[in-house]
Amino acid sequence: AIIRREDYTPFAWNLPEVHLHFELGLEETHVTAKLSVERNPQAEASPTIRLNGDELEPQSVAVDGEQVDSWTMDDGDLLVSLPGDAHEIVIETTINPAANTKLMGLFASNGMLCTQCEAEGFRRITFFPDRPDVLSVYSVRMSGTKAAFPVLLANGNLEESGEEADGTHWAEWHDPWPKPSYLFALVAGDLVSNTDTFITASGREVTCNIYVREGDEGRTGHAMESLKKSMRWDEETFGREYDLDLYNIVAVSDFNMGAMENKGLNVFNTKYVLADEETATDGDFDGVEGVIAHEYFHNWSGNRVTCRDWFQLSLKEGFTVLRDQLFSQDMGSAPVKRIEDVRVLRGAQFPEDSGPLAHPIRPDSYREISNFYTATVYNKGAEVIRMMRTMCGPERFRQGTGLYFERHDGEAATCEDFVKAMEDGAGLDLTQFRLWYSQAGTPKITARLEKDGEDAVLHLSQEVPPTPGQESKSPMPIPLRTAIFDRETGKHGGEQLVTLTEAQGSFRFGNVGASPVLSINRGFSAPVTMSRDVSDEDLVFLAAHDDDPFARYEALQDLVVGHLQHAVSGELSDDDRDSAREAIASAIGSVLADDSLDDLMRGELLVLPTEGYLAETMAIADPGRIHEERAALRSAIGAQLEDQFAAMHERASAVPYSLSAEARGARKVKTQALIYMAAGNPDRGKAMAWEQYQAADNMTDRQGALMVLAGADGIKRTNALLDFYNRFKGNALVIDKWFSLQSMSTHPGVIEHVKALADHPEFTLKNPNRVRSLYMGFAVNQNAFHDPSGEGYRVIADLILALDPINPQTAARFVTPLGRWRRIEPDRSALMKAQLERIAKAPGLSRDTHEQVSRSLG
């Protein structure tokens, strides 16, 4: 069935109070739910109540203390007739957490029990109106054997606990804040905690616990620091304070997503909790900081103000992603963080927006909501709110968000509520801007600067491409931070915010000097593609002189992208190609030599656009040609700058390990140097990588070196992979890296490696991190996935078919790479499509995978 946004109606009943009783067992957990229900005066009255269920059977149903057997089932849901205005319903169910491989609802992970309820997992625990606009106060009693479950946790505060003579114990938890069922959580297991305290701005003392398996507690320090920084930052930046005396985080190894913001009891993928220098890269440290912050910020943007229905998902996710991005900008290098975020947007969201799965940040319909936890809802959603912030400035933005929190505290709100609060609180007119919520597709902007006497005129035009179900679009407001440089002085006359609101527009800039150079969409102020009519010389100028770090990065990227587009199309003569490569290499050479750059930023500037992103910039892509040309460019740069890279590597290797920006920057450019060296002079590069591997005293250096070695042939590759495996055997997160380093490698034998690794004793389809490390690594490895034989497509289709019955939510995520078939050259395209058709024909496909495959073929 298709669920439509326009069909929203409020639920007929309110459920002010919920009492849950869990008798816990790994294979059998007995759940008694006592629901107080009252007619919702805001809704049309109904003689029955529909309680959602998924793979549940009611063992007993009682209304007002009397057993009833007049209930009926409808598509998994329980329908109970309720004659009056207020009743108490008691329902008993029994579930098997150990058999729950979908990891939605209550499931077992390494002998512990935990929950994931967003979006619709609560209905796998007990029958309930499992929708975000039904808010209740929850009391939870849980009991189980002390031996198996020494720690018993749920949302809110621990009220009472006790022990029985038979070896069981129990705990009673109460969460005073009304919440929807998707924020419910329960954890029971053998866990140890890192405990700390945080004093809020108003003086409340909060106990913070991070629960992990014994032996992992030494790797929780960074997560704890990140949590306390997040709490302080949200007070200072958004005026938001924590509202319970307890903040619990639990790390689990089997988890479909990154983490979950359950009220007072966040459940996290271990990947976003555990970090130390031996086992986690600098990128992993940032991931922990960002996700800890994200889940913490949800306490206000998500929990105190929640969503009316799942079409409003971006209300909490887009806003919370923006909040975590701004936090990370403040904790480290703001420009580098901005570049990373734009890279994620372009790598994941742009392809979504230009493919068969395109949808607005506020979708209009869905079959399976899990399929809409997308880069569009999350990352483009964040960009849309960031544009509002750019248009009004940080102070007014704070007033707007302040009004939003105040106005909707305790409510299940809509995106429209947010926009209205921004209008009223920040003084913005967002009438036309609302199109960003309803129209899918990445706007394409063209920009041309024309000299006119002393002035220059900027001519802009926009086009919003058609997307499935949205054939024609209206022009959107596009806020572009713009500066006009004078090539002679190297300066500009001040940045302006130019907002294009029509299909075309012209903007005049006075006194621009003799040779003006256009710097536009600075800081990536609008999530658009930009084709600007500028010469390569202008790009080289901006790459060296732009005072906006993002614009500087962008100019260099555009130079490379422009060249590779020409090279791939075959329209370049050998001479032109060589001189273009040389020009790019010398621009990179200036980056290496520029003392005004810190290494973190230098490292960003050195990253070549990915093959996936390059493909995205072309109407129809030939992945083989893209790979060849990009690899050849990298070799040319490596060869031309070999000594400079070697010198940089040596300089950076002298910096001792720490988490300072300087040391992190040094590690970043070190591995960049290895990549270019290995491309330009393979023997020297390999030897340096081997040396770096052996000298490594941290995972960043070790993984960087192993990545380079994994792409090469020979005994060093074998030895390094073996050493890495033996060194980290037993550490699941690091063994994940071992799998993904091989599946992402540039080695020509990747497909065979992946097939062999699927039979490795450490591989299992039951653990999403392991599945992603082997197969997501492979699916983004463009050269391997797009092998002309079509074998890469078959590998992914086989995986989807094998995983779908076990974990449909994760299986469905692998459809996306095959879904790009319309944008790939005809031979490969046909092979991709054939695999999608093969999946579509499989009997018993989950709703998750079925929806994605049919949209992809659509």
Which of residues 109, 370, 376, 746 is near ligand ARG by CB under 6 A? Answer: 370
Q: Pick one of ligand ARG, Zn ion, none as the site partner of residue 370 (Cβ within 5 to 8 A by kind).
A: ligand ARG
> Binding segment for ligand ARG among 252-260, 529-537, 538-546, 680-688 (CB under 6 A)?
252-260
Residue with tokens 């590998």: 795
Strand 529-532 and strand 444-452: pairing? parallel
Q: Where are the alpha helices (DSSP H) in 696-790?
A: 699-710, 715-728, 732-743, 750-758, 768-771, 777-780, 782-785
> Binding segment for ligand ARG among 163-171, 254-262, 554-562, 700-708 (CB under 6 A)?
254-262
Helix or strand (DSSP H, E) at 556: helix 549-569
Is 254 one of the binding residues for ligand ARG (CB under 6 A)?
A: no
Is 373 one of the binding residues for ligand ARG (CB under 6 A)?
A: yes
Write down the least CB distance from residue 182 to ligand ARG, Å.
8
* Residue with Cβ nearer ligand ARG (370 or 482): 370
* Residue with Cβ nearer ligand ARG (273 or 832): 273
Concatenated DSSP letters for 608-666? PPPHHHHHHTSSSB-HHHHHHHHHHHHHHHHHHTHHHHHHHHHHHHTSPP-SSHHHHHH
Write each residue from 53 to 72 as x if it is in contact with ligand ARG (CB under 6 A), else as -, in one continuous string: --------------------
Write each residue from 574 to 613 as x if it is in contact with Zn ion (CB under 5 A), else as -, in one continuous string: ----------------------------------------
Write down the least CB distance from residue 294 to ligand ARG, Å.
6
Strand 192-199 and strand 205-212: pairing? antiparallel
CA nearest neighbour of 689 among 740, 742, 653 = 653
* Residue with Cβ nearer ligand ARG (249 or 259): 259
Task: Count Cα neighbours of 613 within 13 Å in the Cβ-side half-sphere.
Answer: 20
Q: Pick one of ligand ARG, Zn ion, none as the site partner of residue 119 (Cβ within 5 to 8 A by kind).
A: ligand ARG
Is 327 one of the binding residues for ligand ARG (CB under 6 A)?
A: no
Nearest 5 degrees, angle CA 730-CA 670-CA 651?
130
Which of residues 260, 460, 551, 832 is near ligand ARG by CB under 6 A? Answer: 260
* Residue with Cβ nearer Zn ion (267 or 839): 267
Is 462 one of the binding residues for ligand ARG (CB under 6 A)?
A: no
* Residue with Cβ nearer ligand ARG (321 or 567): 321
Length of the chain: 858
Is 257 one of the binding residues for ligand ARG (CB under 6 A)?
A: yes
CA 797 to chain centre: 23
Is 118 one of the binding residues for ligand ARG (CB under 6 A)?
A: yes
* Residue with Cβ nearer ligand ARG (370 or 401): 370
* Residue with Cβ nearer ligand ARG (294 or 717): 294
> Binding segment for ligand ARG among 258-266, 403-411, 454-462, 551-559 (CB under 6 A)?
258-266
Write down the least CB distance from residue 298 to ligand ARG, Å.
6
Whether 555 contacts 543, CB under 8 Å: yes
Concatenated DSSP letters for 460-523? EEEE---BTTB-------EEEEEEEEETTTTEES--EEEEE-SSEEEEEE----SSEEEEESGG
Task: Count Cα neighbours of 195 within 13 Å in the Cβ-side half-sphere.
Answer: 7
Write each residue from 149 to 178 as x if it is in contact with ligand ARG (CB under 6 A), else as -, in one continuous string: ------------------------------
Which of residues 224, 244, 259, 750 is near ligand ARG by CB under 6 A? Answer: 259
Q: Which of these is catalytic: 120, 295, 611, 629?
A: 295
* Residue with Cβ nearer Zn ion (206 or 382): 382
Which of residues 131, 213, 229, 294 is near ligand ARG by CB under 6 A? Answer: 294
CA–CA separation, 791 and 354 (whole Å): 25
Which of residues 261, 282, 309, 548 is near ligand ARG by CB under 6 A? Answer: 261
Q: Pick one of Zn ion, ligand ARG, none as the site partner of residue 89 (Cβ within 5 to 8 A by kind).
A: none
Which of residues 234, 295, 554, 736 is near ligand ARG by CB under 6 A? Answer: 295
- 145 Cβ contact partners less than 8 Å away, ≥ 6 residues apart: 167, 168, 169
* Residue with Cβ nearer Zn ion (291 or 679): 291
Whether 171 contacts 158, CB under 8 Å: yes
CA–CA separation, 571 and 461 (whole Å): 27
Number of other CB atoms surrounding residue 727 within 10 Å: 12
Task: Provide the token pair at 851.
Answer: 């929806």
The one-letter amino acid code at 145 reads T
3-state secondary structure of 199: strand
Backbone angles phi, psi at 452, to 5 degrees: -140, 90
Q: Is the dihedral of CA 99, 103, 104, 108 positive or negative?
A: positive
Is 288 one of the binding residues for ligand ARG (CB under 6 A)?
A: no
Number of other CB atoms surrounding residue 453 within 10 Å: 7
Write down the least CB distance from residue 298 to Zn ion, Å.
6
Which of residues 130, 282, 317, 538 is near ligand ARG by CB under 6 A? Answer: 317
Backbone angles phi, psi at 405, to 5 degrees: -65, -40
Write down the least CB distance from residue 267 to ligand ARG, Å.
10
* Residue with Cβ nearer Zn ion (317 or 787): 317
Q: Is 295 a catalytic residue?
A: yes
The one-letter amino acid code at 531 reads S
Is 413 one of the binding residues for ligand ARG (CB under 6 A)?
A: no
The one-letter amino acid code at 439 reads Q
Task: Provide the token pair at 613.
Answer: 């992103």
Q: Pick one of Zn ion, ligand ARG, none as the site partner of residue 622 (Cβ within 5 to 8 A by kind).
A: none
Q: Under rule CB under 5 A, how many of the chain's residues touch Zn ion? A: 2
Is 119 one of the binding residues for ligand ARG (CB under 6 A)?
A: yes
Write each residue from 310 to 349 as x if it is in contact with Zn ion (CB under 5 A), else as -, in one continuous string: -------x--x-----------------------------
> Binding segment for ligand ARG among 253-261, 303-311, 439-447, 488-496 (CB under 6 A)?
253-261
Write down the least CB distance from residue 648 to ligand ARG, Å.
38
- 228 Cβ contact partners less than 8 Å away, ≥ 6 residues apart: 196, 198, 208
Q: Is the dihedral of CA 587, 589, 590, 594 positive or negative?
A: positive
* Residue with Cβ nearer ligand ARG (781 or 816): 816
* Residue with Cβ nearer Zn ion (295 or 604): 295
Q: Report the residue closest to ligand ARG, judged by CB.
A: 373
> Binding segment for ligand ARG among 259-267, 344-352, 440-448, 781-789 (CB under 6 A)?
259-267
Write down the least CB distance from residue 272 to ligand ARG, Å.
10
Task: Provide the token pair at 324.
Answer: 């975590």
Task: Provide the token pair at 238.
Answer: 């958004």
Task: Count Cα neighbours of 837 within 13 Å in the Cβ-side half-sphere.
Answer: 7
Write down the least CB distance from residue 119 to ligand ARG, Å.
5
Instruction: Please name every residue paired with 301 in a beta bridge, in sequence order, or none if there are none.
Output: 305
Concatenated DSSP letters for 323-343? HHHHHHHHHS-HHHHHHHHHH
CA 32 to chain centre: 36
Whether 35 contacts 91, CB under 8 Å: yes
Whether 375 contacts 348, CB under 8 Å: yes
* Residue with Cβ nearer Zn ion (323 or 346): 323
Q: Under rule CB under 6 A, how many of the chain's residues touch ligand ARG? A: 11
Q: Pick one of Zn ion, ligand ARG, none as the site partner of residue 259 (Cβ within 5 to 8 A by kind).
A: ligand ARG
Q: By the criterion CB under 6 A, which residues form the site for ligand ARG?
A: 118-119, 257, 259-261, 294-295, 317, 370, 373
Query: Which residues belong to the active site?
Result: 295
Q: Which residues bind Zn ion (CB under 5 A)?
A: 317, 320
